[in-house]
Amino acid sequence: EEITVPEAEYQVGWSHGREKLEGDKLDYSKGSFYANPLTEDLTNSMLERRRLQRKQLNDNNSAEDDINVKSGTKELLKWDESLHSIKTDEELIQLAKDNPAFFAPNVWPSNCLPELECAFRDVG
């Protein structure tokens, strides 16, 4: 139960006997573990990206800012152009609440299988 997320429709964490093979017959022959390999928490990553975008706009893309922004952060800023259609952070938070299967943060079995997180991340 530590790593099941029913409200996210089992799209993160452990899923066993939740998928249907034929009609209404649940598949108990396998289990799956799902996690987002790009970020631990998509909503927080998107909010951080928006904050960095606002900072860049406020700084007018100064040369000094370019020097101080880490290369990983620059890539993060370019990653999602669709954020322009979401006008406020509150809209993004509401979108995440309305779509938990897409925005749910990763869950890890830190109590029952702590080595899984590192192994999963290493595989990518």
Is residue 15 very low, low, confident or very high in pLDDT (cuts 50, 70, 90)? confident
Residue 90 pLDDT > 90: yes
Whole-structure pTM value: 0.64
Q: In residues, how long is the chain? A: 124
Residue 83 pLDDT > 80: no
Residue 64 pLDDT > 70: no
- Averaged pLDDT, 67-91: 64
Is residue 76 very low, low, confident or very high in pLDDT (cuts 50, 70, 90)? low
